[in-house]
Structure 1
Amino acid sequence: MKTETHTSRFSITSAIFDVLDPIPFGFFVGALIFDILYSNTYTVLWVKAAAWLISIGLVFAIIPQLINLGRTWFGKRRIRTRNLAINFWLQVVAIVAALFNAFVHSRDAYATMPAGVWLSVLTVLAMVIGRIVLAADYVVYKEVSHGQA
C-alpha cells in the first residue's frame, strides 16, 4: 500500500508575503494623495511627505516581490497561471515607476510636478490592475443544486 503525503500550502515565505504585500500599496496611495494635494496647494510639506512615503513603500515592496519572484517563476509543484505572471510583471512595473518617482521627488519641490503625479498614478494603477487580474484566479464557481443531493 502506497501512502501519499500532501505538503501544506503554508510556509514561512507565504506568511511573510501575506503580511508585507499590502503595505506598499498603502504607502503609494498615500504618496499619490499627497502629490495631488501639493499640485493644488503648493505647500512643500506635501511633496516632502510624498517623497518619504514613496521611499518607505519601496523598502516594503522589495521583500514581497522577491518572494513573489520565487513563487511565480521558481516554485516547485506550483502551477503558474497567466494571470499570476501578469500580476508579477505589473508589480515590477509599479516598483520601477516608484523608483523613478523617488528620484523625481528627490529634486526641489517645484521641480517634481507634473512628473511626480503621473509616476504616482502609474505606480498605483499598475498595482491595482495587477490585483484585479490576480483576483480572477481566485474566483471559484460553484454549481448550485436545487433540491438535489
Structure 2
Amino acid sequence: MPVNTAPHRSVLANAVYGLLNPLPFGFFVAALIFDILYVRTAGVLWNKGAAWLIVFGLLLAIIPRFVSLAQVWITSRQLAQRADKLDFWLNLLAIVVAIFNAFAHSRDAYAVVPTGVWLSTITVLLLAIAQVLMAVHDSAREGVQP
C-alpha cells in the first residue's frame, strides 16, 4: 500500500533563503538614501555609491529568487499559497525595476535625476510590500493576532 507523504521544503534551501533574502532590501534602501543625498548635494560620489549598491543588491537577489522559484513553482507547488506566489512576483518585479535603475545609474552625472530616485523608490516599495505581505501571512498562519 503506497503511503502519500506531503511534500516538504528543503531545510538547506530555507536557510539559504532566510539568510540572503533580506540583504537586497538593505542595499536598495541604501541606494535610495544615496540617490536622495545626490539630489540634495550633487556630490558625484553619492551617485556612484548608489550605482554600486544597486549592483550588489541585484547580485544578492539572484540566489533567493532561484530558491523561491524552485519552492513556489517546482518542488513545493502543493504547499505554496497565494501569498508565496504574490511575494515571488513582487520580488521579481522589483528586480526588473532595479535592473532598469542600474541602467539609469550608468548615465553621466545629473542625468540620473529624477529617474534614478523614482526607480529606487519603486524598487524599495515593491520589496517592502512583499515583506509586509509575508509577515502578515506568516503571523496569520501561526495564529498571531495583529
TM-score normalized by the length of structure 2: 0.88
Contact 2:7–2:78 (8 Å) recurs in 1: no
1:66-81 alignment to 2 at 5 Å?
A: 66-76=66-76, 78-81=78-81
> How many residues in Structure 1 have an aligned counterpart in Structure 2?
142
Q: Which residue of structure 1 lines up, in the alignment, with residue 123 of structure 2? A: 123
More helix by share: 2
User: CA separation in 2, counterparts of 1:19 and 1:129?
Assistant: 19
Residue 133 of structure 1 is matched in structure 2 by: 133
Shift of 1:8: 6.9
Q: Cα RMSD (Å) of the superposition?
A: 2.2
2:21 alignment partner AA:
D
User: 1:28, 1:123 within 8 Å by CA — same for their partners in 2?
Assistant: yes
* CA radius of gyration, larger in: 1
% identical equivalent positions: 48
Cα deviation digits, residues 75-127 of structure 1 (max 9, x gap): 23742211111111100111001000000001102110000000000000000
Gapped runs of 5+ residues in structure 2?
A: none
Distance 1:4 1:82, change over 3 A: closer
> Which moved further from structure 2: 18-27 or 7-16?
7-16
Q: Distance in 2 between matches of 1:113 and 1:74?
A: 40
C-alpha distance in 2 between matches for 1:105 and 1:3: 55
- What is the TM-score of this pair, normalised by structure 1? 0.86
Quick check: 1:23–1:60 contact (8 Å CA) kept in 2?
Answer: yes
1:25-56 CA-partner distances (Å, limit 9, x unpaired): 11000000000000111110100000000001
